[in-house]
Amino acid sequence: MPFVHFVTNLPADRLGPTFNQIFNQVLADAIPEKPYELFAINTVANATLTFGGSSEPAAVVHIKAYGIYTPEKNVEYSKAICTFLADVGIPGERVLIDFSDLPASHCGFNFTTAQKLIDEGKI
């Protein structure tokens, strides 16, 4: 159940009306342990965001999830995200990604927590 918070200084019209759905698919393909249906993506476009003191196109991506991170996997996730964002017009050298491990017991979903669902064998 990844929580994705995407912030960019690009205007929303540059991202397009289906940006979240396409980004969702990119992430689900890169992180097969998490199904498409369980990603929550919040996009903030037209942010007052500078990177290295410059207002050129840039992005910050925060991804909170449980049970998916390793140093090796994070490199693959970064490649997938930066490749996708480069196609949108944000070069990889202007993308900062925060991979935050979230304990399953701290992830609420459907009246319970992910940990409880794991313990019950439901996910």
pLDDT one-digit tens code per residue, 57-76: 999 999 999 999 999 999 99
What is the structure's pLDDT at 91?
A: 98
Rounded to an integer, what distance in angstroms lies between the CA atom of residue 78 and that of residue 60? 12
Name the DSSP letter for residue 98.
E
Written as one letter, the residue type at 122 is: K
CATH architecture designation of domain 3-119 = 2-Layer Sandwich (3.30)
Whole-structure pTM value: 0.93
What is the structure's pLDDT at 1?
A: 86
Who's near 86: CB < 8 A, 6+ residues apart? 92
